[in-house]
Amino acid sequence: MSGMTYKTQKMVILLSFLFLPVGLLGLFTYYPAVKMIYLSFSNWDGYSETVSWIGGENYKEIFKNPELFGVFLHHIPYVLIGIIQNIFAILFAVILNSKLRGRNLFRVLLFLPFIMNAVAVAFMFQYVFDTSNGSLNALLSFIGIDHVSWLGNESIVNFSLASIGFWKFMGYNMVIYLGALQAIPGDMYEASKIDGANRFQTLWHLTIPNLTKIIQLNMFLTVTGALAIFDLPFVLTKGGPAGASETFLLKTVETAFQFNNFGLASAMSIVLLVLTGLILSLQHVVINKKEG
């Protein structure tokens, strides 16, 4: 290689170093996405040689069939609890950003759930939520609350599942907010003190505004994450009882791998991607409006 000019070397490096990563990106992300758009207009069953075109039928089916579209209602608890989770994450980040004994210990402890194996966490909470032997009901019986069926009651199940997410991700978000807080220069706090601002004024006029960008990013991740919920109901409830904890992605996977309707499943995947894109652009519009 050393015999070439740097210009030639640069060409060789760019081509050879980027060929594989970009190739893999195309092969496993963009080619599937494009092919899904094509398949979403077909009724392909996943193994036939021929793919027959059926126009927009799959999309009509998604928006007309309440069994498919109605599933989005099950995502609302995840969004709500996700928002509450962010509020708690900010609260604890602010607490741990102040002078406090045992700061690092609490940071390590609150972040701990994030690194635990997701499936093991799911089963751990299956035990917490168990109706007859579960620790949550045992705890509640001390204060005289009768046994609740946390995973078996149609109106509660999604809140129970979403609260597992709360338990697992609150500390992770807290650490992210904490990183943003520590990037705020200390002399701004000094100035705020000199101006005679009390603790809550400082929080409201200095800390929160400095977190705006990261709050927006986390809100985006919270909402899109809530749309793409899959693991917890898949492991714990299989969408039950009576389909009450079905999520859109769970339905998509069933449609493809149980009912071999890859055309409809592709259309569902595209709908989810478009929704994610919409939320992203909506956020951009909102942010630009504020700054413009």
Segment 189 to 218, residues that bind other proteins, using CB under 8 A: 199, 214, 217
The backbone region for 238, taken as left when phi is positive above 0, alpha when psi lies in -120 to 50, beta otherwise, is left
Smallest distance, Å, CB 146 to other proteins?
17
Among 51, 140, 148, 176, binds other proteins (CB under 8 A): 176
How far apart, in whole angstroms, are the C-alpha atoms of residue 206 and residue 87? 17
CA dist list (Å): 216 to 255, 277, 279: 33, 15, 11
Assess contact for 29 and 246: CB atoms under 8 A: no
DSSP-derived secondary structure letter, 49: S
How far apart, in whole angstroms, are the C-alpha atoms of residue 44 and residue 39? 7
Cβ proximity to other proteins, 123 vs 204, nearer residue: 123
How far apart, in whole angstroms, are the C-alpha atoms of residue 130 and residue 135? 8
Beta strands in 198-290 (DSSP E): none
Among positions 38-97, residues that touch other proteins (CB under 8 A) are: 39, 46-47, 91-92, 95
Query: 258: which 2 tokens?
Result: 């149980």
Cβ proximity to other proteins, 77 vs 129, nearer residue: 129
Among 54, 172, 197, 254, binds other proteins (CB under 8 A): 172
Cβ proximity to other proteins, 36 vs 157, nearer residue: 36
How far apart, in whole angstroms, are the C-alpha atoms of residue 148 and residue 138? 10
Assess contact for 210 and 192: CB atoms under 8 A: no
Which residue type, as a one-letter code, is found at position 109?
Answer: L
Instruction: Rule CB under 8 A: say whether 246 interacts with other proteins.
Output: no
Closest of 132, 138, 140, 151 to residue 244, by C-alpha: 151
Among positions 94-153, residues that touch other proteins (CB under 8 A) are: 95, 98, 100, 102, 106-113, 115-120, 123-128, 130, 133-135, 138
Smallest distance, Å, CB 132 to other proteins?
9
Among 162, 178, 223, 226, binds other proteins (CB under 8 A): 178
CA dist list (Å): 174 to 101, 222, 226: 18, 13, 18
Place of tokens 């069994």: 67
Among 153, 253, 254, 283, binds other proteins (CB under 8 A): 253
Q: Which stretch binds other proteins (CB under 8 A): 59-67, 76-84, 170-178, 184-192?
A: 170-178
Cβ proximity to other proteins, 105 vs 242, nearer residue: 105
Cβ proximity to other proteins, 12 vs 286, nearer residue: 12
Instruction: Rule CB under 8 A: say whether 287 interacts with other proteins.
Output: no
Q: Which stretch binds other proteins (CB under 8 A): 14-22, 51-59, 77-85, 152-160?
A: 14-22
Cβ proximity to other proteins, 43 vs 276, nearer residue: 276
